[in-house]
Amino acid sequence: MTDYKTFDSAGVTIAYLDTGVADNRPPVLLIHGFASNSATNWVATSWVEALTASGRRVVSIDNRGHGASEKLYALTDYGAPLMAEDARRLLDHLGIEHADVIGYSMGARIAAFLALAHPKLVSKAVFGGLGINMVRGMAGTGPIAHALEVPSIDDVTNPTARTFRAFAEQTKSDLKALAACIRSARAPLSAEMVGLIACPVLVAVGEHDVIGGSAEALAKLIPGARAFVIPGREHMKAVGDVAFKKAVLDFLDATH
């Protein structure tokens, strides 16, 4: 399941997976979180297996600076709107006119910008691992960037930042590229903006996820959105949760 293909996204080489057989339902686009990649976020957690087993074509992007995609080091090379355009160009490249989009953490933020900029492209959206903090913004990005830039994880004392450094090392990420990504200007995503998202939305966040914030609070801002609290999970452990998968599969198959 690591048979990556690549394409040119306005001069940036982007890697992706494309698997499963298309049926009469939209393909599913998966957008991973910060410091992760398709293999870690979606393959190892059995998401790709579950979705293809349900009869879906699955496309999973490695965001710029992550995984097998090109590594970039300028602050202007990153930001969710830019990364949403990578996702849009991937769907264009594959000739996909409509997709259900599942994003986790940073990927949920990217998915929100994709749904706002290209509403006809996104049939349904799942915002995983990111609740009300999608509009409040994530505190502590400076310490995380610093944690990625210091010579050793032993130099990191901030517990949250240390978690991200450890995860980045686990995924064998380019630490310099990730630091640029998290230091990049964070495009504002206001409550008013998410209120303009027109497609059906499921917000799913772990019960103990302090990074993502409340699923219910974000869902209240989006017309018709549903909230699902992933029982007993925090941010890192919620991704592969069985209840999370079931809630998403039920949501994707529901008629609206």
Q: Is residue 153 in some structural domain?
A: no
- What value does the mean pLDDT take over residues 223-251? 97
Q: Is residue 98 in some structural domain?
A: yes
Q: Is residue 178 in some structural domain?
A: no
Residue 22 has what pLDDT?
Answer: 82
Residue 82 has what pLDDT?
Answer: 97
- 137-194 pLDDT, tens digit per residue, is 766 688 999 999 999 999 999 998 999 999 999 999 999 999 999 998 678 899 999 9
Whether 233 and 207 have beta carbons less than 8 Å apart is answered as: yes
Q: Which residues pair with 128 in a beta bridge?
A: 104, 204
Largest CA-CA distance found in the chain, in angstroms, rounded: 52
Residue 47 has what pLDDT?
Answer: 98
Q: Is residue 175 in some structural domain?
A: no
Q: Is residue 201 in some structural domain?
A: yes
Please give the residue range of the domain that contains residue 61.
5-136+187-253
Instruction: For residues 28 and 26, give the distance between their C-alpha atoms in angstroms, rounded to a whole number.
Output: 6
Residue 23 has what pLDDT?
Answer: 86
Average pLDDT over the chain, rounded to whole?
95
- What value does the mean pLDDT take over residues 43-56? 97
The three-state DSSP-derived secondary structure of the chain is CCCCEEEEECCEEEEEEEECCCCCCCCEEEECCCCCCHHHHHHCCCHHHHHHHCCCCEEEECCCCCCCCCCCCCHHHCCHHHHHHHHHHHHHHCCCCCEEEEEECHHHHHHHHHHHHCCCCEEEEEEECCCCHHHHCCCCHHHHHHHHHCCCHHHCCCHHHHHHHHHHHHCCCCHHHHHHHHHCCCCCCCHHHHCCCCCCEEEEEECCCCCCCCHHHHHCCCCCCEEEEECCCCCCCCCCCHHHHHHHHHHHHCCC
Structural domains counted in the chain: 1
- 184-235 pLDDT, tens digit per residue, is 867 889 999 999 999 999 999 999 999 999 999 999 999 999 999 999 999 9
Q: List Cβ<8 Å contacts ≥24 apart for 116-120.
A: 116/193, 116/196, 116/197, 117/81, 117/84, 117/85, 117/88, 118/84, 118/88, 119/197, 119/198, 119/199
- 18-38 pLDDT, tens digit per residue, is 999 888 999 999 999 999 999
Residue 138 has what pLDDT?
Answer: 66
131 pLDDT band, cuts 50/70/90, is: very high
Instruction: For residues 212 and 235, give the distance between their C-alpha atoms in angstroms, rounded to a whole number.
Output: 7
Q: Is residue 164 in some structural domain?
A: no
Task: Examine the pLDDT at 1 and tell me if it is beyond 60.
Answer: no
- 80-93 pLDDT, tens digit per residue, is 999 999 999 999 99
2 pLDDT band, cuts 50/70/90, is: low
Task: Examine the pLDDT at 44 and tell me if it is beyond 60.
Answer: yes
Q: Is residue 166 in some structural domain?
A: no
pTM, full prediction: 0.97
The enclosing domain of 198 has a CATH number of 3.40.50.1820
Residue 256 has what pLDDT?
Answer: 57
Phi-psi region of 225 (alpha: psi -120 to 50; beta: other; left: phi over 0): beta
Whether 92 and 208 have beta carbons less than 8 Å apart is answered as: no
